[in-house]
Structure 1
Amino acid sequence: MESALSEIEFLALSPNRVETLRLLADRPHTRRELVAETGASQPTVGRILGDFEERSWVVRDGGEYRTTATGTLVAQGFDDLLSIVDTEEKLRPVVRWLPTDAIGFDLERLADATITTPSQVRPNAPVKRALDLLGDAEEVRIFSYAFNEQSLDVITDRTAAGQQRFEGVFSSSAIDAIADDSRLRQQLHELLTAEHASIRITDEEIPVAATVADSVVHLFLRDDRGLLQASLDVDDPAVLAWADETFARYWETATPLDPEQL
């Protein structure tokens, strides 16, 4: 273990070593090409190649250098480690609110996620991000423990105009909260009578508020008190597959919401 950590430290302490190994794992390079692409000096590249040869990570083949099988393994593994750490750093500010028990995909899939948090000048930024996605999407599916007023506004307008198809599965308490407000109840009734909209309700617990807007999956992140702290959205096949499967499971067991029930 100590030896492996020492080798990781050797590589990590020099961006030039990391970049040189990455370049050689991609394809063979001459020393001159490595100098040009890394920006390192000739002597520095020479020392790096010498160190790599001692570790059997690279071999010289004519006028070029290339990685060995183990050199390629190290390059790929180090890239994976960098990607994981980059993702962890990105998620660190919001990880406490991630519904990790409810999501069925690896957190690595969130490497390219857009994370939106409230600020003093944009306190409603997470909701605004969700509304932007809803405003552009042609196909929307939601499974959630809540249905906020702004989302209801956008979805009702776009489905009425024939610009969007909508399916939603909500907890009974979420629909009850809408029905308690006369204006929102009327708006919900309008949504339910739209040609391309359908809502079902369930008494099953829905621990996460998820929206699928075309191929983008959006999650609201709330604290233990139910206060909105952030949102994230990502266009990733594995996350989309999880959202599709989860929505289908809730949909199959939920009860269609009849407008007359309002």
Structure 2
Amino acid sequence: MTSDGGHDGAQYLAGSPIRVAVLRTLRREPRRPADLTDTVDATRTTIQRILGGFRERDWVVKRDAVYHVTPTGERVYNAYERLLDEVELADRYGRFAAELERVNAGFPAEAIGTGELTVATEQNPLAVVDRLTGLLREANGAEIRAVSPVVVQQFNRAAAAALDDGSLIELVIDQDVLEASVSDFGPATDRALDDECATVYVSPEPIEYGLFECDGVACVTAYDRQNNPRCVLESTDPVVAEWVDDRFDSLVDDAQRLSAVVENV
């Protein structure tokens, strides 16, 4: 059999769910063709054809009329199952990953799938807002670090409640958020200026994704082109926590304190 980098074998296995079922069955226990016919919903002819294809690729061997999976056959099956898991993960996290990549956030690929994902839907467009608001309300006097590309009344109220409970809040916003806050949410802006437990920084560059960190939970929020929050990942994974810390510190390094810029708005 000629080698083509494994494409032929991958295409062969993926091309039929019956082939996958036969290899899965043999991986669990060696079988005779007749036993496979009883276990897998396929004719004897189909089973024999599949076993021939597996033998051609050295995925199985025949010993005393019984078919056994070889070590390479087992590896192929395991790799196929991992691929299916990755495709399922991509289906689940695709929108989150795509929106972050669109804005060049640099989110690490190994962090995909490390936590719980909340996704806004047509049936529940405020799912992400509600989840982030809930996390703020659950802070209970903890230290909070956050980055937000939008100003939302629910966030302001939850942040005020967190401050009332004794939380320390560090927040990074951009110029657009500052202008909207001054224009539409004056009392919240005044408290951000006056409350010693609140520290607000203004980034000179537009912010295009959200961050939230509190009590060992790190969150990353992906926004669409209209600045609607579409997905939020909550994770305790060290990779996510380190990435959030690095991004937050980098934004703070380039930002100014709110008090230094608000009088120019």
Q: TM-score, normalised by structure 1?
A: 0.71
Amino acid corresponding to residue 173 of structure 1 in structure 2: D
Q: Over aligned residues, Cα RMSD in angstroms?
A: 4.1
Partner residue of 2:228? 228
Q: CA deviation at 1:247?
A: 0.8
Partner residue of 1:151? 155
The one of 169, 173, 195 aligned to 1:170: 173
Partner residue of 1:133? 135
Q: Could you say if the C-alpha distance between residues 23 and 203 of structure 1 is closer, same or farther in structure 2, counting changes exceeding 3 Å? A: farther
Partner residue of 1:88? 90
The one of 215, 218, 226 aligned to 1:216: 218
Partner residue of 1:246? 247
Q: Tell me the distance in 2 between the aligned counterparts of 1:146 and 1:175.
A: 9
The one of 53, 64, 73 aligned to 1:71: 73
Q: CA deviation at 1:246?
A: 0.9
Larger Rg: 2
Kindly indicate whether the alpha-carbon contact (under 8 Å) linking 2:60 and 2:70 is maintained by their aligned counterparts in 1: yes
SS of aligned partner of 1:129? helix
Kindly indicate whether the alpha-carbon contact (under 8 Å) linking 1:97 and 1:222 is maintained by their aligned counterparts in 2: yes
Partner residue of 1:202? 203
Amino acid corresponding to residue 189 of structure 2 in structure 1: R
Kindly indicate whether the alpha-carbon contact (under 8 Å) linking 2:137 and 2:158 is maintained by their aligned counterparts in 1: yes
Matches within 5 A, 1:53-72: 53-58=55-60, 65=68, 67-68=70-71, 70-72=72-74
Q: Tell me the distance in 1 between the aligned counterparts of 2:21 and 2:164.
A: 54
1:12-31, Cα deviation, whole Å (9 max, x unpaired): 24446446656887xx7454
Partner residue of 2:186? 182
Q: Could you say if the C-alpha distance between residues 75 and 148 of structure 1 is closer, same or farther in structure 2, counting changes exceeding 3 Å? A: same
Matched, 1:110 2:109: no
Q: CA deviation at 1:228?
A: 1.3
Q: Tell me the distance in 2 between the aligned counterparts of 1:86 and 1:109.
A: 15
Matches within 5 A, 1:24-39: 29-31=29-31
Amino acid corresponding to residue 238 of structure 1 in structure 2: V
Kindly indicate whether the alpha-carbon contact (under 8 Å) linking 2:22 and 2:40 is maintained by their aligned counterparts in 1: no
Q: Which shows bigger deviation, 246-255 or 236-245?
A: 236-245
1:86-127, Cα deviation, whole Å (9 max, x unpaired): 2333345667644434222345643465242243x5342321
Q: Could you say if the C-alpha distance between residues 184 and 248 of structure 1 is closer, same or farther in structure 2, counting changes exceeding 3 Å? A: same
The one of 7, 10, 35 aligned to 2:9: 7
**Structure 2 unaligned residues grouped into runs of 5+:** none
